[in-house]
């Protein structure tokens, strides 16, 4: 049994590859490149949580999982990364991630825990990665950088039967500060598809990156 995430959390992620759970207020937000993005309004924050369903047609799922987990590589292909590394905070492993924001907005940083599992379910191979913010991790806040305290993400992937990956992602992020909710929600409309596009490109370049290391 994981100390970070329960069996139920892993199962709820991969089962949505088969049966999307869209009851309770989920609405179709946008669709592009064969990817559908749904959102659910959060009354407490005025922000939305997102579910993403689609296919990355040139990225095998194991490669996607490897790229997603490789923090050093992400610093090469994600232009929004200011700082990113896994570290030990008083003996507890966690990821520190600082994201660049455009002037005059302050950068945001995250301290989060994550876990990957490669599942074999009666011969069906599924890769699941879970992550959430870890406010109890003893990582000092930095001057001029706002700490994001509400962040959670789950990703499940399996083969699409060809050369790509069938993907499910669930995501919520509250950047805090004085950014209007409408602006955060507007940015998500292009941010999620752009991330998936960058991810596909990163997958195609990963072998070359590994050879250069």
Domains annotated on the chain, with CATH: 25-205 (3.30.530.20)
Q: Say if CB 133 and CB 4 are below 8 A apart.
A: no
pLDDT in tens, 22-62: 999 999 998 877 789 999 999 988 889 999 999 988 899 99
Q: Which pLDDT score is estimated for 1?
A: 36
Q: Which pLDDT score is estimated for 106?
A: 93
pLDDT in tens, 122-175: 999 999 999 999 999 999 999 999 999 999 999 999 999 999 999 999 999 999
Q: Which residue has the higher pLDDT, 182 or 199?
A: 199
C-alpha 205/C-alpha 59 separation (Å) is 11
C-alpha 14/C-alpha 173 separation (Å) is 21
Q: Which pLDDT score is estimated for 32?
A: 78
Give this prediction's pTM. 0.92
Contacts of 70-75 with C-beta under 8 Å, sequence gap 24+, read 70/206, 71/95, 73/202, 73/206, 73/209, 74/202
Q: Say if CB 168 and CB 156 are below 8 A apart.
A: yes
CA distances from 151 to 47, 113, 160, 210, 211 (A): 12, 10, 28, 29, 33
pLDDT in tens, 68-108: 999 999 999 999 999 999 999 888 899 999 999 888 889 99
Instruction: Name the token pair of 185.
Output: 């929600």
Q: Say if CB 134 and CB 151 are below 8 A apart.
A: no
Q: Which pLDDT score is estimated for 193?
A: 76
Q: Is the pLDDT of residue 13 over 60?
A: yes
For residue 3, name the pLDDT band (cuts at 50, 70, 90).
Answer: low
Instruction: Name the token pair of 125.
Output: 């191979």
Q: Which pLDDT score is estimated for 61?
A: 96
Supply angle C-alpha 151, 33, 108, rounded to 5.
Answer: 25
Residues 6+ apart with CB under 8 A from 114: 4, 69, 95, 129, 130, 131
pLDDT in tens, 175-195: 988 787 777 777 777 777 788
Q: Which pLDDT score is estimated for 2?
A: 47
C-alpha 110/C-alpha 133 separation (Å) is 7
Give the dihedral of Cα atoms 135, 26, 181, 167; nearest 10 deg: 60
């Amino acid at each position: 049994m994981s100390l970070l995430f329960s069996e139920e959390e892993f199962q709820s992620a991969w089962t949505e590859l088969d049966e999307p759970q869209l009851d309770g207020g989920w609405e179709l937000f946008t669709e592009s490149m064969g990817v559908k993005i749904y959102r659910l309004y959060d009354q407490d924050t005025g922000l939305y949580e997102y579910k993403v369903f689609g296919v990355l047609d040139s990225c095998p799922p194991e490669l996607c999982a490897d790229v997603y987990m490789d923090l050093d590589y992400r610093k090469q292909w994600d232009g929004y990364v200011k700082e990113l590394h896994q570290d030990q905070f008083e003996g507890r492993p966690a990821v520190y991630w600082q994201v660049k924001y455009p002037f005059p907005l302050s950068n945001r940083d995250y301290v989060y825990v994550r876990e990957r599992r490669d599942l074999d379910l009666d011969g069906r191979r599924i890769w699941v990665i879970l992550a959430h913010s870890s406010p109890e991790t003893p990582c000092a806040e930095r001057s001029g950088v706002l700490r994001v305290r509400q962040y959670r993400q789950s990703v499940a992937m399996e083969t699409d039967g060809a050369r790509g990956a069938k993907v499910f992602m669930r995501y919520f992020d509250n950047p805090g500060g004085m950014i209007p909710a409408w602006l955060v929600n507007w940015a998500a409309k292009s941010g999620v598809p752009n991330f998936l596009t960058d991810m596909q490109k990163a997958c195609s370049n990963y072998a070359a990156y590994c050879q250069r290391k």
